[in-house]
A and B are shown apart, each in its own frame.
Chain A
């Protein structure tokens, strides 16, 4: 048995307490440990992704207990992709946090960061729904800690709303889990897939309500309108590197929907038929619209980026809501793009803030480091609004293409393309005010000249943009990979049998009940 699959969870889970125990007063040591941990994570994630790229499903039984009695971790193409994406993103975010000095503006940044990574990795790797809940809790509490890092009144207020709304989601998650357990008597996803098929067609209300509650939990995480209200202020108020890391957090919701609603409640399952067809796609379309309209309405750059996150999550959700292999493949490609672009833009916000002293979209004199920041903003905004040549355009093209046979194709195209235009206008306006109009604005007499952002900060943002360029150049390979991933998701039998049929401790004497 190889232990590599559990390493992405265990490594940060050991790194963080070690930092708390031994290095809590030494930010230098924390930085070294944190970066080393993330580098190791990337290496492990790469190994796992390579291992699973041929369709292999790796199973890991916690405590040697066989599924469904114990907890299992399962790595397939999808989960390793998410693990890899998270680890790569976290490296650049971490470098930025170090470069900008954010990590030393409060206590325990690195410990919380590592715990956050642990939660993310666990959420992507676990094959057990209750364990997913546990990792959601780890995620939530660590992200709350990171969000209010360095304090400040508005940030604390936004943090309170963030944690409260997500506690509603957690409660709902528990309701959903209770219902699912009451209905099926299991929590393992693969086992659940088998047992959900046993539900009596004469009595489907239980499983239907359970499935829809679970979907709503994930929709809250994915910030689908009208369950998105926690996002704008919390992402805008969070420290920039934290907001950048949060770009992956909404994707946890998207991931969970993809996983559970292809494996446990697949679109062709009768008991749960017609559960979300009526509202999920329209809600996703409204998310796109609200997000991109928000871009136009925003009065501050950080809000603008937060709304664009809602919009791009909407596009992801539109693509997922099609529940076709090509739709899921497009969604996966777009998830990678949206994560990188969102993170880059939040980091750019901080570059602007450092150089300019304010994120208000009102003219101010030219900021320190204006030219480089402007160039990065231009590229980042281009990617986010989905103009060529970067991955945003290709991703949108894939989503549009995948939705060609949908009943709502006209709506989908109209909303995605139309809101694309609105966001172009919004971003162009913001960029023009921030970087161009500055040259026509006189400095006030007592204007304090701010120092330009640190080089490492630029390196981190540049790295994210380089990744997007890579995603563009290798779009064919990545899309091919995403397609094989979607095919694997829509043929879950190997996954299910690997999980359910692999024996563990004491499972020999046919204790199984199915």
Chain B
């Protein structure tokens, strides 16, 4: 079967259990089993090629520029692991079918399980190390989901997060390590990397790469000091523990060390780090395991210990050590998975896993007893079982290993670990199954159906088979070892035998077994000693670290983002100032190219007024009405400044904008207190003043700098001045720039204006629907109202003015192209005309007389401008291309017609609509809050016709 299909099958198959969930549990388990079986058979079809010592390759380019490709490789090592993953996977699926209860969502479980299986197969088949990382992290993720499968259990949730955090940390480190490795070799393909042992080991980056990759391996394979997550992962359902956390996933780290063995091993760094980590883990795990009362915890720590054993074997860097490692991987997978399944059976039957509450199960559950005992004896290293063989090899290898220059250190510790290993194995048999039958089990233990005991039984059969007839698997082990060693070593001649003669390893083995028996016989005092010894609790440390990290994160983030805008702005301003200052001082400065213009008396007077108004603003800003007036002065002076600099268009615009703004602000002030309260301390105001002054000085300095210097090349405005009449048909350059040269900018700006109005409207709408409505309705004016809200003089005057102002607006609009004016100013002027009506005659009166909704006016304006622009498409010109011609309609003189005028009309409409819509939105608030009857424009109106007025009133009311 193609390797692609082999890897893809579990992933694609993962969809099925979820789909089949409602079809029943057997169907769900059935499809899962079928998917796994298909992959298993597919793997076996590659067996002949593997046996010939060949490597199956498959490749599809994925990110060739990056060097990340979908390259798969099946060699002996990969085949071995894939066989374990898929073979044990089949047994686990069968077991889980009977293990999971009716309340468990089996579809979800098997979906996760198949995702895991696919990821795991991917790891062992990857030829590209970046691809390998992808599958690697996928196993972490699927393991996270499986540990947390029982969502209601806090242990499951915490265990899942801990496992994810630890393994993800290692995974991230490994990413860095793999990237370095790839950079050294120039390729991320394993088949390429494995050829460059010398190149890699000579590189200065070898050690960082090694440490980072090992960090990944150690976290995944639960090596000291990262071993603590594995026991907590036992909160997962037992099939998961048996599959992920003993047989396969935790071996991924081991696999990677084996994979990288040809290029990474053999250096002192590798030897010291890997061997000592393995040895420590082995001893530590074994000791802790003996004193665990939870059956699964005991097995978990024993797994940690055995993983340490394998790691240590790989660390020695010898071919024999590698072979022993391979063999022990196989043996451990068989007996440990069987033990976990047995533990699950006991838990299922007796409703407890606490060894202290068990004992005497041998007669109640004879089948389980047999299976568990054989597996445990193998774990203890008893002859005729497979555990014995690999443990002998390990002890033999340890005898040859010299760590830290001390020849006895490794064999002594290895024997010590084996002794504890034997002890906890015996304890498992003795304290769970042997002894007197008890009458206080939480439930009556009994042997389960074949569905639960058959899968472990098959594994135990393998345990016995390999133990009795090791020559059956020897060729396979050697094949795998050869593939592991690659070009870096030669498969040892030694045969795997039960009897080697009276070699030192045998004596060590005997010490371990009998020592274990003796240790168990003094278990009670040993336990008391253990319990009284203070030792660090890994979970507590981890929890403390996470809690501290979270506390630290909150301590950094929350006060920093406390919602105080003034501080945000202050930090922003200081940053801008600092970066700008840095740019300034690192640049070069030459003499100015222009001289200062002489300042006349009038400009100086204007400048002083501007300054005075600004200073007044700073001092008097708490009085809001006063500050509004001062803003008005500033605006006026700016307008005059524009006049002074010969920009009448800008001056007119600025002036009209000022008028409209002040009116709108006055309306807004109506809803605000008269004075701004003091909210900040003196110190903060001093700080803010400092920042403000610095910003002002910087702005002044920059402006001053540029005013005394010419541009590096002729400014584009020269072109605009030269071509305004010839190309744009207008003598008013400002207007031609606005509607022609840079009409697209204007188009954008009128849209901004339109949006602003729409949003003021939308804001008012939402305000009026919320709690603000009630507040407005209950609002009491804080000052006495004027006696005559709508003075007659003003009403009469504004009405007389209306047609005149409209006429002026029209005139300004028309003359715009050649003289100061244009759509923007005209729009503002017309708006002012209407605003005056609002002010003089009241909102109600004016609203009732409106024929065109302002929304429509805005929409029409923007549409007109846009469609004018599109119009030029029909003559094959780009958007907004203008044209003009001169026409003569008697009795008028000849005048110019430009398409730009149509565009200007759009501008005009958008401005009128936007200003009026904003005003109307304010007025809606005002009308709600105002108790004064606005219906009548004048308090005394002799010509009032009651009927008509009433009619208008009701329309106006309906509009609210």
A142 within 8 A of B: yes
B880 at the interface (CB under 8 A from A): yes
A297 to B761, CA, bound (A): 37
Contact indicator B876/A401 (Cβ below 8 Å): no
Assess whether A106 is interfacial by the CB under 8 Å rule.
yes
Kindly specify which of A92-100, A226-234, A245-253 makes contact with the partner chain: A226-234
Contact string against A for B residues 752-781, beta-carbon threshold 8 Å, 1 for contact and 0 otherwise = 101110110111011101100000000000
Residues of A within 8 A of B718 (CB): 513
A108→B758 contact, CB < 8 A: yes
CB atoms of B878 and A198 under 8 A apart: no
> Is A21 touching B860 in the complex (CB atoms < 8 A)?
yes
Given the complex, which residues of B lie within 8 Å of A164, measured CB to CB? 565, 569
Please state if A145 and B762 are interface contacts (CB–CB under 8 Å).
Answer: yes
- CB contacts (< 8 Å) of B168 on chain A: these are 387, 420-421, 424
CB distance from A435 to the nearest CB of B (A): 7
B155-168: contact bitstring with A at CB < 8 Å (1 yes, 0 no)? 01100110011001
Verify A422–B549 contact, CB threshold 8 A.
Answer: yes
In the complex, what residues of B have CB within 8 A of residue A183's CB? 706, 709, 711-712
- CA A144 – CA B760 in complex, angstroms? 11
Judge whether A152 and B770 touch: CB under 8 Å. yes
Look across to chain B and name the residue whose beta carbon is closest to the beta carbon of A164: B565
A206 with B709, Cβ < 8 A, contacts A145-B758, A175-B699, A393-B137 known: yes
Interface flag for B882 (CB, 8 Å):
yes
Find residues 504-559 in chain B having any chain A CB closer than 8 Å to their own CB. Answer: 546, 549-550, 553-554, 556-558
| Chain A CB within 8 A of B866 CB | yes
A70 and B741 in contact (CB under 8 A), knowing A137-B752, A232-B561? yes
Contact of B759 among A63, A112, A191, A296 (CB under 8 A): A112
With A106-B765, A185-B714 known to touch, is A297 a contact of B557 (CB < 8 Å)? yes
Taking CB atoms, residues of chain A closer than 8 Å to B183 are 404
Q: Which bucket holds chain A's interface residue count?
A: 35 or more
Q: How far is the CB of B957 from chain A (nearest CB, A)?
A: 20
Please name all residues of chain B whose beta carbon is closer than 8 Å to the beta carbon of A74 when the two chains form the complex.
Answer: none
The verdict on A135 contacting chain B, using a C-beta distance below 8 Å, is: yes
Quick one: CB contact mask for A457-495 with B, threshold 8 Å, 1 for yes? 000000000000000000110011001000000000000
- Cβ contact within 8 Å between A138 and B137: no
- B712 and A184 contact, CB distance less than 8 A: yes
- Within 8 Å of chain A (Cβ to Cβ): is B715? yes
Q: Kindly name the residue among B130, B572, B769 whose own CB sees the greatest number of chain A CB atoms within 10 A.
A: B572
Interface string of B734-753 (1 = CB under 8 A from A): 00000011111101110110
* Cβ contact within 8 Å between B755 and A148: no
CB neighbours of B61 from chain A (8 A): 476
Closest beta carbon of chain A to B544's beta carbon, Å: 14
CA distance A41 to B949 in the complex (A): 51
In the assembly, what is the distance between CA of A138 and CA of B459, in Å? Answer: 70
- Cβ contact of A229, chosen from B68, B568, B587, B877, cutoff 8 A: B568
Cβ of A335 < 8 Å from any Cβ of B?
A: no
Among the stretches B329-337, B444-452, B483-491, B575-583, the one at the interface with A is: B575-583
Chain A residue contacts of B546, Cβ below 8 A: 425
Task: Check A394 against B741 for contact (C-beta < 8 Å).
Answer: no
Shortest Cβ distance from A385 into B: residue: B168
Tell me whether A205 and B144 are in contact (CB under 8 A).
no
Does A275 touch B at the CB level, under 8 Å? yes
Nearest CB of B to A227, in Å: 6
CA distance A271 to B859 in the complex (A): 47
Contact A205 B705 (CB under 8 A): yes
Interface membership of A186, Cβ < 8 A: yes
Which one of B68, B711, B762 contacts A185 once the chains associate, using CB atoms below 8 Å?
B711
Q: Does A32 belong to the interface (CB within 8 Å)? A: no
Q: How many residues of B contact A (CB 8 A)?
A: 132
- List the B residue with the shortest CB-CB distance to A414: B176
Whether A203 lies near B590 (C-beta < 8 A) is yes
A69 to B183, CA, bound (A): 49
Q: Shortest distance in angstroms between B797's beta carbon and chain A's nearest beta carbon?
A: 34
Query: Which listed residue (B152, B588, B863) contacts A204, Cβ 8 A?
Result: B588
| CB of A208 closer than 8 Å to a CB of B | yes
Q: Which residue of B lies closest to A382 (CB)?
A: B141
Q: Compute how far the CA of A422 lies from the CA of B751 in the bound complex, rounded to whole angstroms.
A: 43
- Interface presence of B719 (CB below 8 A): yes
* B residues in contact with A199, CB < 8 Å: 712
Task: Please state if B713 and A513 are interface contacts (CB–CB under 8 Å).
Answer: yes
Instruction: List B contacts of A142 (CB < 8 A).
Output: 755
B932, chain A: closest CB distance, angstroms = 27
Residue B722 at the chain A interface, CB threshold 8 Å: yes
Any A CB within 8 A of the CB of B669: no
Residue A51 interfacial (CB < 8 Å): no
| Interchain CB contact under 8 A, B727 and A421 | no
B138 at the interface (CB under 8 A from A): yes
Chain B's closest residue to A289 (CB) is B556
Q: Which residue of B lies closest to A437 (CB)?
A: B157
Contact B713 A195 (CB under 8 A): yes
| Known contacts A212-B583, A297-B550, A421-B165: A290-B557 contact under CB 8 Å | yes
Render A206-237 as a binary contact track against B, CB cut-off 8 A, 1 for contact. Answer: 11110111011000100000110110110000
The reply on A29 being an interface residue by CB < 8 A is no
Give B881's nearest chain A residue, CB to CB.
A64
Write the nearest CB–CB distance from B77 to chain A, whole angstroms: 22
Known: A17-B866, A187-B716, A437-B157. A175 touches B749 (CB 8 A): no
Q: Using Cβ atoms and an 8 Å threshold, which residues of chain A touch B755?
A: 112, 115, 138, 141-142, 145
How far does the alpha carbon of A203 sit from the alpha carbon of B64 in the complex, in Å?
46
Q: Which of A179, A185, A213 lies at the interface centre, i.e. has the most chain B CB atoms within 10 A of its CB?
A: A185
Distance of A322 from chain B, by nearest CB (Å) = 15
B720 and A69 within 8 A (CB)? yes
Q: A64-B878, A70-B742 are in contact. Are A428 and B179 (CB under 8 A)?
A: no
Q: Is the CB of A397 within 8 A of B175?
A: yes
Query: Does A447 belong to the interface (CB within 8 Å)?
Result: no
Q: Are A205 and B584 in contact (CB under 8 A)?
A: yes
Contact yes or no, A150 B878, CB < 8 A: no
The answer to whether B879 has its CB under 8 Å from any CB of chain A is yes
Q: Does A37 contact B (CB under 8 A)?
A: no
A101 to chain B, nearest CB (A): 15
A450 at the interface (CB under 8 A from B): no
**Which residues of B are found within 8 Å of A1, using beta-carbon distances?**
876-878
B172 at the interface (CB under 8 A from A): yes
Q: Which of A187, A226, A271, A418 contacts B575 (CB 8 A)?
A: A226
Q: Which of B447-470 contact A (CB under 8 A)?
A: none
Q: Name the segment of A8-16, A82-90, A312-320, A339-347 touching the other chain.
A: A8-16
The interface residues of chain A lying within 8 Å CB-to-CB of B676 are none
A205 CA to B705 CA, complexed, in Å:
9
B475 at the A interface (CB under 8 A): no
**Contact A62–B160 (Cβ < 8 Å):** no
Contact residue among A14, A144, A213 (Cβ-Cβ distance under 8 Å from B866): A14
Q: Are B741 and A297 closer than 8 Å at their CB atoms?
A: no
- Interchain residue pairs with CB less than 8 A apart (13): A10-B866, A13-B747, A64-B877, A134-B744, A142-B755, A178-B703, A191-B716, A208-B587, A290-B560, A425-B546, A428-B164, A440-B154, A505-B881
Per CB-CB distance, the 9 closest pairs between chain A and chain B, nearest first, are A21-B859, A151-B766, A185-B715, A185-B711, A145-B759, A229-B568, A205-B587, A182-B706, A203-B590
Known contacts A107-B766, A421-B168; 20 additional CB pairs below 8 A are A1-B878, A21-B863, A63-B744, A65-B741, A69-B741, A108-B758, A164-B569, A185-B715, A186-B716, A202-B590, A204-B588, A205-B588, A212-B582, A271-B587, A397-B66, A413-B176, A421-B165, A424-B168, A429-B161, A436-B151
Chain A interface (Cβ within 8 Å of chain B)?
A: 1, 3, 6, 10, 13-14, 16-22, 24, 60-65, 68-71, 106-108, 111-112, 115, 118, 122, 130-131, 134-135, 137-138, 141-142, 144-145, 148-152, 156, 160-161, 164-165, 168, 172, 175, 178-179, 181-188, 191, 195, 198-209, 211-213, 215-216, 220, 226-227, 229-230, 232-233, 271, 274-275, 278-279, 290, 293-294, 296-298, 307, 378, 382, 387-389, 393-394, 397-398, 400-401, 404, 413, 417-418, 420-422, 424-426, 428-429, 432, 435-440, 475-476, 479-480, 483, 505-506, 511, 513-514
